[in-house]
Chain A
Amino acid sequence: MTTDVSTPHIPPGRLGDPGLTIGTDPRADPRMARSWGSSGSSTTPTAPR
Chain B
Amino acid sequence: MGKLGLLDHADGAPLTPDVGRETLLQFVDAVEEGFEGLFATLAEDLPPIHGVTSELRTITGDGGHEIGLHVHRPEGVEGPLPVIYQVHGGGMVMLAAKGALYTRWRDELAAAGAVVVGVEYRNGGGALGPHPFPAGLEDCATGLRWVADHLGELGGTHIVVTGDSGGGNLALALPIKAKREGWAEAIAGVYAQCPYILGDWTEASLPSLVENDRYWLNRSLFPLLAEVYDPGAGNAAEATCWPYHATAEDLRGLPPHVISCNELDPLRDEGVAYHRALLAAGVPSIGKVNLGLCHVGELMFRSAMPDVYAEAVRDVLGFARSLG
Contact = CB atoms under 8 A, between A and B. Distances in A.
Interface of A: 11-15, 21-23, 25, 27-29, 31-49
5 contacts: A21-B8, A23-B8, A32-B304, A40-B41, A41-B3
B76 interface: no
B13 interface: yes
A44 B31 CA distance: 8
Contacts, number: 132
Interface residues of B, number: 46
Which 3 pairs show the lowest CB-CB distances between chains A and B?
A37-B2, A48-B30, A23-B7
B7 A39 contact: no
A46 B257 CA distance: 30
Interface in B1-41: 2-14, 26-27, 30-31, 34-35, 37-38, 41
B194 interface: no
Interface stretch (B114-122, B130-138, B178-186, B214-222): B214-222
A34 B213 CA distance: 19
B301 interface: yes
Contacts of B217: 46
Chain A at the B interface: SS class: loop
B34 A13 contact: no
A15 B207 contact: yes
B22 to A, nearest CB: 14
Chain B at the A interface: SS class: loop
Contact of A32 (B14, B38, B221, B292): B292
A46 to B, nearest CB: 5
Contacts of A34: 304
A20 B268 CA distance: 18
Contacts of A14: 210-214
A7 to B, nearest CB: 19
Contacts of B27: 48
Contacts of A44: 4-6, 10-11, 34
A28 B3 CA distance: 18
A46 B207 CA distance: 21
B41 A21 contact: no
Given A37-B2, A43-B38, A44-B6, 7 more contacts: A13-B211, A28-B215, A28-B264, A44-B34, A45-B31, A45-B216, A46-B13
A48 B31 contact: yes
A38 B2 contact: yes
A28 B214 CA distance: 14
